Structure 1
């Protein structure tokens, strides 16, 4: 993904941060090894649809990313030859849903969304009220909530 996003350090840094937070949360939540692998792979490729969306639509909003990302992720993951078809299916499904928050199912999905939010809150400089709403509506894992509180002072009302 670093090579895929060559010349775009912001996207490279974003995917690395999302991956690391997903890894941290997954390990802290004691996610099984197979799920952890899928989670980490999905975190790395979660925004793979952005470039295609910009070229095709001139925008890269979440819904367009969910539309275009899975096929692009499938190509990359298949070419790697590392993942089984079942793993690729789940990773692509996660890529195709990582901006849909109303029906989060599966610990890998929950953690991916939380990790992406941890990075986006910082990168987008979200205001305190928005962070509190995100915590209330989105964050479910103990590890994700603790990271959010520690990073942004949500629990201590230091926002």
Structure 2
């Protein structure tokens, strides 16, 4: 399964390199923070790997959304991203149909907190929120409000403390 993550990572990088280079760094950061949060929260190995795949794919709809609509608004990129995931993932043959369905739902709702809770992708939701704040898509001065209302995991809260409140993160060793 780790091979699938690496293979998909290269495909996503190649896709963004031909469409929108700015998406590469964003996607890799969201991937790493998602993985970190999921591991620190003690998620099972399969769940961590599925979250890694979802993190790599979460903004895959942005380039096509920009082409079709001139923007990358969540409503457009989520719908288009879900379509792309439906097209791409069966070809890999390494996921059960229900896992592909889960990825489609996650990519198609990744900006929606209620869906993050329902489908269990809080780690991705929080990682994307953190990176979007760091990149200036959301105002950093509202970080405390976002944290209070949208961050549920202890690890997400620890990252918010470190990045936006200049505290220290409790480092746990494996």
State if a TM-score over 0.5 links the two structures: yes
In the TM superposition, what whole-angstrom CA distance separates every residue of 1:116-145 from its partner, at most 9, and x where no partner exists? 011100001644441011001110100010
Distance 2:52 2:152 in 1: 18
For residue 13 of structure 1, the aligned residue among 25, 34, 41 is: 25
User: Deviation at 1:9?
Assistant: 2.8
Moved over 6 A (4+): none
Pairs within 5 Å for 1:1-159: 1-7=12-18, 8-106=20-118, 108-124=120-136, 126-153=138-165
In the TM superposition, what whole-angstrom CA distance separates every residue of 1:82-108 from its partner, at most 9, and x where no partner exists? 322111111111001111124532574
Higher RCO (C-alpha 8 Å, min separation 6): 1
SS in 2 for 1:2: helix
Change (3 A) 1:128 1:10: closer
User: Deviation at 1:155?
Assistant: 6.0
Report which stretch shifted further, 121-130 or 3-12.
121-130
Distance 1:112 1:142 in 2: 14
Q: TM-score, normalised by structure 2?
A: 0.82
Say which structure is richer in helix.
2
Aligned length: 156
RMSD over aligned Cα atoms: 1.9
Change (3 A) 1:33 1:123: same
